[in-house]
Each structure stands twice: as structure tokens, then as C-alpha cells.
Amino acid sequence: MAPNLTERRLFILKLVVQEFIETATPVASEMLVRKFGLGFSSATVRNDLAALEELGYLTHLHTSAGRVPTDAGYRFFVENLMDRTSLSLAEQRMIRHQFYQVRGELDQWIQLAGAVLARTAQNASLVTPPRAEQLRFKNLELISIHETMVLAVLVFHGGIIKQQTFGLDAARTPDDLRRCAGRMSDALADLTVSGVEELLAQDALRPLPTFGEFERAVIALVTHAMQAFEEQAREHIYSDGLLEMLSQPEFIPALARDDAERAVERLRRALDILKSGRGLGQLIPQALASEGVQVIIGGEHSEDEMREYSVVLARYGVGGAVTGVLGVIGPTRMAYPRSISTVRYISSLMSNLLAELYAGESRPPLEGNG
Amino acid sequence: MAPNLTERRLFILKLVVQEFIETATPVASEMLVRKFGLGFSSATVRNDLAALEELGYLTHLHTSAGRVPTDAGYRFFVENLMDRTSLSLAEQRMIRHQFYQVRGELDQWIQLAGAVLARTAQNASLVTPPRAEQLRFKNLELISIHETMVLAVLVFHGGIIKQQTFGLDAARTPDDLRRCAGRMSDALADLTVSGVEELLAQDALRPLPTFGEFERAVIALVTHAMQAFEEQAREHIYSDGLLEMLSQPEFIPALARDDAERAVERLRRALDILKSGRGLGQLIPQALASEGVQVIIGGEHSEDEMREYSVVLARYGVGGAVTGVLGVIGPTRMAYPRSISTVRYISSLMSNLLAELYAGESRPPLEGNG
DNA sequence: GTTAGCACTCTCAAGGAGGGAGTGCTAACG
DNA sequence: CGTTAGCACTCCCTCCTTGAGAGTGCTAAC
């Protein structure tokens, strides 16, 4: 009943997908024969195209239109047909160099990763900052802004920093604050949110002499800050490359197969997705739990609004300790080989950078030859 | 020669501008008469419209199209005609409440300001973080990540924080680092970039016993961080509300007077402006140097690519010490009264918040009734 | 100064024709 | 049986035309 997949048909499918990815134009039989100098006539190719269509890998919008891959077609291409290349060494070098230039500035890595992903894959990118499963307290500093206003700098494991100002009931000297911060740092060291909460509860029951009203207030502040941070960290996704994605023909009315309205509506939707993170929600935890590069194509998404988009994601980080997710999002007609190799490279690069930070033994520190 | 501006003509001009701002549709004489129950016939209004056109305040695209304000028309409206309202008390209360909820989290104020501006003015917003003219050092903390890796947290006056990791040549204990950070904090306290540079130079000439190789390396790090920060702070503009702006009819092909292609091209341009900050470059320093709310309308911009947009900007901050700029950007057909009052309110709100932080005497700290 | 009346201009949407692209089918060929 | 030439057919896209509608500008009267 269903046609079988001959070598030639596989080859033709590969050509169609590659061609459509490149040109964004439906692929015609005649054109394939001429452009690639196939040894068959266009009629033969047409038969194969019809077979591939019956198998569900291709469609066409109307009788006299060329073929376009379906989601299943892209999936088959990604799994079985595409050339598994890496980024060129020159590109890798260039990217490494850019990261080298912001060495030490952890908060810039995320931005840079987003920018590089977007530029290299010519689509939008998304990056979540590296996060520990559990925020763990490391250090506290209390800096006097003026007599009754204090800047608290909370440092957590993994180089995560949060600042918070608060007012005092009574004036305190900078030295006083410093001593207090030292005591607190020791008391709270390595605790998680629940640990701090516990301490606060205990403390309330049997107050220690060194921990007075003020100290308890600070612990409450820390608790609150950690809770808020964990919550907002889960939602926060950095994204970039909107402009790159918008230069894809899908978003250019004159080039879009359907009319201009659609192109703009699509754009608005895309913006919405990137900004709100809706439609990406499940993807992130899912990617965090997986190894290697994940590809989700069009209708494979659980969200309806994502069915015109594909996402290429990978986890990065050290062990299970500090991890994040980064990836590329764009129309289903996406240069999968390139996107995948870019995501793979950047995730491994980020992982190495983080490993240097936390393990130290992996490589000599970046500062070494500065 | 040129017609004169009678009371009625002023009134009609006001109506036309308001009407066009609201409906985004060219305003016809007949429609004005009916909608506002004017006591004149449409022919009379037509005469006045023609006069206003001759004065340069209105145009129409073709013979049988209604009138549309010119940039000069908007300008005249903003200066002389529009109702100078404030945000409603309910809105003010709501906004204050939102800021109250992120009290103490200085870095969230910027985001919040951007979001509120965008939502209230239904356009894109831009906010620069509050900056001192000169970055002034306040405090340094060195936190051991592992034996040879250190996280430096630099705190500057104005609650500005920068983190930077670096590797060590030789292992150091956390205590060692803490003591060192304390010495350095004292040595560098209140210095500007040039001050630190000077210290570094002096130090190189006659090394003090307490300041060894390591300390010099840290000072160099601080110098570098301050330089980099000052540079990138100048360029960094936070922006939000793209989605809000895109819901303006100018960006919706079906509603745009000209064709869909234009709408999308416009959109791409707008994105580009917001992302790169090109076209805004001069505006920021200019706004920093001015008092009150600045309005720049369409062709008044020095940049050509901005001639379809208007910007409403205001400085915020305390004295000349710590200041930033915030504002709204959107199509020239912008709800100026609302944008201006929003920008005015938020800038004063932010100024108050900053004043509390730095002066303390202006109001009781926000934490007071938490 | 104001107004009614009207011709004129220009846009916009709908309908129709012609050209073109590409397929699907059929019949013949090796 | 796979391959191929030939051809009818389908559907899109662009251009053109047409008619309706909107709104102006002008003129002449009030």
C-alpha cells in the first residue's frame, strides 16, 4: 500500500528539505533535476515526490505548487538525512574569542551566548541563566548608604548576586554593619531557603544573645529575597535575535507565501512568545532533564501557538549542580544542521566556562595569560 | 497672505489632532460637525481646515482624504492646545503600589518603570539606569569560589554593583581574601576611575609593604571593571513595550493607510532603533541636561530614521548626583497628553525613590510600614 | 463670514482575463 | 517494471477595469 523508501527517494527528500530551507520557496520537480543535474527526468522525480507525499513527508498547498516539507519531513531529515557538521574552526575560534573578552563577567556570558546564537543561527535565541536547583547562601554584605539606609548584597553559590536596600529603625555605623554581616554570613553559610526559614523559626523560639531584633529582620529579608529570586529565576528567560528572526522570509510580507497580514500577525505572536515565555514553559524543565541537543518541530509542540515554530535546545552547566538551557527558536523552515551545531557548540563552551569556575581542575584559569 | 488663527480655527485644530490621535483615521469636515455638534456647516469647517493647512499644521494625502496633522501641527497642539492633565489618582496609586512591591530592589525599578510606561502610554518605553556622572568606588568584597578562583563584588556609590570572577596564581584562604578586601575597600574608598588609576600608578612607583603583587592585580581589575562599566553604561538603554507599540494601528497592515509592506518595514526599523539605540544617542545626554518633560516630534529628530516617531523624555534622579532618563517612544500620532503625564509622574516617582535612598531626610523609608 | 450645491478627484473593493508554473495522468519505451 | 515524453488541468498571481463611496474645493447665493 504505502510506497517504500528507495535510496533515490531518500536523496530527493533530502534535496527538497535542504532546498526549501535555503530558498523558502516550494520545490518543483523540474527545478531539482536542473539544479542538481539528477540523472532522471522531472517526471520520475514527480513520481517520487508523490510517493514521499503519500508517506507524509511532503505536501503542496495546491495542485500547481512545488513541494514543501511537513513537520514529519523535517523530523525525518533531522534524524536520518542531514549532514552532521560542526561549526567551522574559524567560527569556533571567533566565538571563543568573544567569550574570552568578557571572561570573569558571568552576567555577560548569557547576553553574549544569546547574541552569538542569534547571529550564527539567524534566528531568535533564548538563554536561561545558570541556576542551582537550590539557591544556597554564601555570603552577605551590609553597606551603609546613609544613617538609616543599608544596601544588602547577597551572594549565593554559583556567583549569583542579589542586591536589596532597606531602611533601619535606628542608625548604625558602617563598622557595626560590617561586623553584623560577618556574623550573619557565618550563621547562614551554605543554607538553602528552607534552611534559612528554619533558622528564622528556631531563632524566634529561643533568641540567642548575639541575634537581636535587627539580625532577625535581616534573616527575614534574606528569606524573602531568596524566595523571590527562586520564583523569578524560574520564569526569567533571556532572549535575543528578534531582528535576525525577522529577517527570515516568513516575516517579510513580500516574500511570504500567504499574505502580508499573516506575516505581521505571526510576528506579533512570535514577539509575544519570546517576551512572555508562554509556549516555552514546559520546554525548559524538559531540556534541563535531558542530555544532548533537543529539537522540537512545529506541531510537536504541546502549545498550539508554537506549531509554526521549531526550537533547538540544549542544557549546559556542570554536573547537576549549576545548569541552564540555551537554544534557538525560529520558523519550522530552519537551518537545522547549523542551528544544532551552533547550539551544541555554545552549550559545551558555556559548560566549560562554568566548569572552570566551579571545579578549577578542568583547565588553567582564564586569567592565566591575561 | 497667510490666514490668521481665529479662536474657532484653534478649536478645530485641537479637535482634528485629538480625533486623529484617537482614531488614526484622517479627519473629515462633515464628521467633525456631526460628532461634536459644531454650530457651523461642514463647508465652514472646510474653509478653516484649508486655512490650517496653509499655515502648515495639517495636510491631506490626496484630494478626497480627510486632514492629518503635520509635525508642526502636533507641536502646536502640544505647546498650546492640549489639556494638561495628570494621571488619575487611581492610576497613580496603582503605580505606586507596584513600586512599593519591589521596594529595596533597585535593579527592578528600571524594569518596572519600563513596563508601567509602556502599558500606560501604550507605546514602547525606554529607561536608562540611574548613573552618577562619575562612578565612585565604595566597597569591595572578595569571595572564594575555590582555591584559585575568586568572585569580586564591586559596590559603587549609588547602589551600583558589578561582579567579576578571576583566577589566582596561588591559593588563598577565604579569611585572607576577606582581610585583603577590607584593606582595599579602605584604600579605594570614594575614588573615581581616574583616582584609582592614579593610585595604581603611584603604587607602581613606590610599593607599600601592605600592597603586594596581588593587591596591585586587584586594583588593576577594579580599574578595568570601572572603565568597562562606564563605557557600557553610557550605551545601555533598557527598553520595553514593543508589543504595546505594535498594537498601534500604524503597525497593523490592515489598518495602515499605506500598504502592508510599509507597516512591516516600519516595524523592523522600530525594532532596530530600540535595540541598537541608534537615533536615540543624542537624545539621552540632551535630556539629562534638561529639566521637565521633553517632547521630540517626528521630523524634529536629527536622525532621519526617527522622523516617523515621537519621543517623550524626562530626566529623573536626585540633584545632579545620580540621574537617568526615561520616556516613551511611538509613532508621531501619539497620545501626547497621556504620554507626557505618565512620563512626568514616573520620573518624579523614581526621583523620590532615589531621594529616599540617598538623602533619607525626604521621607520615611519605604520599609517603615512593611 | 457662512452656507448649499455640485463637480471633481482619489481610494478601495470586487470581478474578470491572461499568463505562468507545476502537477498528475496517460501512453509509450527499454 | 521503472522511466520518460507529452499534455491537459488546476490553481495562483498580476493587471486591468469598473463602480461605489468618501471628501474635498469651488462657486454662487445668503
User: Which residues in chain A land under pLDDT 50?
Assistant: 360-370
B146 three-class SS = strand
Distance A20 CA to C25 C1' (A): 26
Shared-domain flag, residues A218 and A155: yes
Domain boundary (B204, B234, B264) is at B234
Query: CA-to-CA distance for A119 and A245, rounded, in angstroms?
Result: 9
Distance CA B119, CA B87 (A): 13
> Which residue places its CA closest to the C1' of nucleotide C5?
B43
Q: Is the CB of B63 under 7 A from strand D?
A: yes
Compute the mean pLDDT over every residue in chain B, rounded to the nearest whole number: 88
Percent of chain A with pLDDT over 70: 92
Under 8 Å CB pairs connecting chains A and B tally to: 140
Best of B99, B140, B141 to mutate (most A CBs within 10 Å, chain A): B141
B240: amino acid identity, one letter: D
| Domain containing residue A353: CATH number | 3.30.450.40
Q: How far apart are CA A222 and CA A153, in angstroms?
A: 10
Verify that A72 and A189 share a domain, yes or no: no
Q: Which residue of A has its CA nearest to B175?
A: A182
Q: In chain B, how many domains are there? A: 3
Burial zone of A304 (CB within 10 Å; 0-12 exposed, 13-18 middle, 19+ buried): exposed
State residue A312's pLDDT score. Answer: 97
For the CA of A64 and the C1' of C22, the distance in angstroms is: 4
- A363 part of a folded domain: yes
- Residue among A235, A239, A236 nearest A311 (CA): A239
pLDDT digits (tens, 9 = 90+) for B278-288: 778 788 889 98
Nucleotide minimizing C1' to CA distance for residue B45: C2
**A282 plus A204 within the same structural domain:** no
B142 and B125 within one domain? no
Whether B57 shows a pLDDT value over 90: the answer reads yes
Q: Is residue B1 part of a domain?
A: no
What CATH number is given to the structural domain containing A216?
3.30.390
Give pLDDT, residue A54. Answer: 96
pLDDT in tens, A230-278: 888 777 889 999 999 988 988 887 666 555 667 777 778 888 888 887 7
Is B309 within a domain? yes
> Do residue A359 and residue A248 come from a single domain?
yes
Task: Please tell me the predicted confidence (pLDDT) of residue B255.
Answer: 66
The residue type at B146:
H
A288: in domain: yes
Q: Give the count of alpha carbons within 13 A of A318, CB side only.
A: 14
pLDDT of residue A368: 31
Give residue B346's domain range: 89-129+237-369
The answer to the question of residue B2 being in a domain is no
The answer on A230 and A242 residing in a single domain is no
Q: Is residue A2 part of a domain?
A: no
**Full-model pTM:** 0.90
Residue B251 maps to a domain: yes
**Which of the residues B99, B100, B102, B105 would you substitute to probe the A interface, choosing the one with the greatest number of A C-beta atoms within 10 Å?**
B105
Domain co-membership, A227 together with A244: no
- Flag whether B212 is in a domain: yes
**Per-residue pLDDT tens over the stretch B83-129:** 999 999 999 999 999 999 998 888 899 999 999 999 999 999 999 99
Residues B120 and B260 in one domain: yes
Do B62 and B204 lie in one domain? The reply is no
Please write the tens of the pLDDT for every residue from B247-276: 898 887 766 655 566 777 777 888 888 888
Same-domain pairing of B196 and B213: yes
B50 is near strand D: CB distance < 7 Å = yes
Cβ contact B159–A145 (<8 Å): yes
Domain boundary among B64, B81, B98: B81
Question: A276 and A362 in one domain?
Answer: yes
Q: How far apart are CA B145 and CA A157, in angstroms?
A: 8
Q: Does B317 lie in the same domain as B171? A: no
Q: Which residue of A has its CA nearest to B259?
A: A260
CATH code for the domain of B31: 1.10.10.10
Please give the C-alpha separations between residue A20 and each of A46, A73, A74, A76, A297, in angstroms, as whole numbers: 16, 11, 11, 15, 15
Closest nt by CA–C1' to B31: D23
